[in-house]
Amino acid sequence: MSSKDLVDAFSLFALRTVLAPESQLPDIPEHVYGELKDFLLQHAHPGPIP
């Protein structure tokens, strides 16, 4: 697979993600949210964490 093919595939994926209705997008699993929150807390993220 060439670099151009990879860029084209990623662009198509990004476009589909942007245009997809919210109900069709997968939910972020709770453990991923927890890991992200822990990472942000460990790195002194200055903003509020939802």
User: Could you write out the three-class secondary structure of the chain?
Assistant: CCHHHHHHHHHHHHHHHHHCCHHHCCCCCHHHHHHHHHHHHHCCCCCCCC
pLDDT for position 24: 64
**Could you give the angle at the alpha carbon of 48 between the alpha carbons of 45 and 50, nearest 5°?**
115
pLDDT digits over 2-44, tens only? 888 888 888 887 777 777 676 666 665 666 677 777 777 776 6
* Cα–Cα dist 29/36, whole Å: 11
* Cα–Cα dist 49/40, whole Å: 8
pLDDT for position 5: 84
For residue 20, which phi and psi values (nearest 5 degrees)?
Answer: -70, 140
pLDDT for position 30: 67
Q: What is the pTM of this model?
A: 0.37
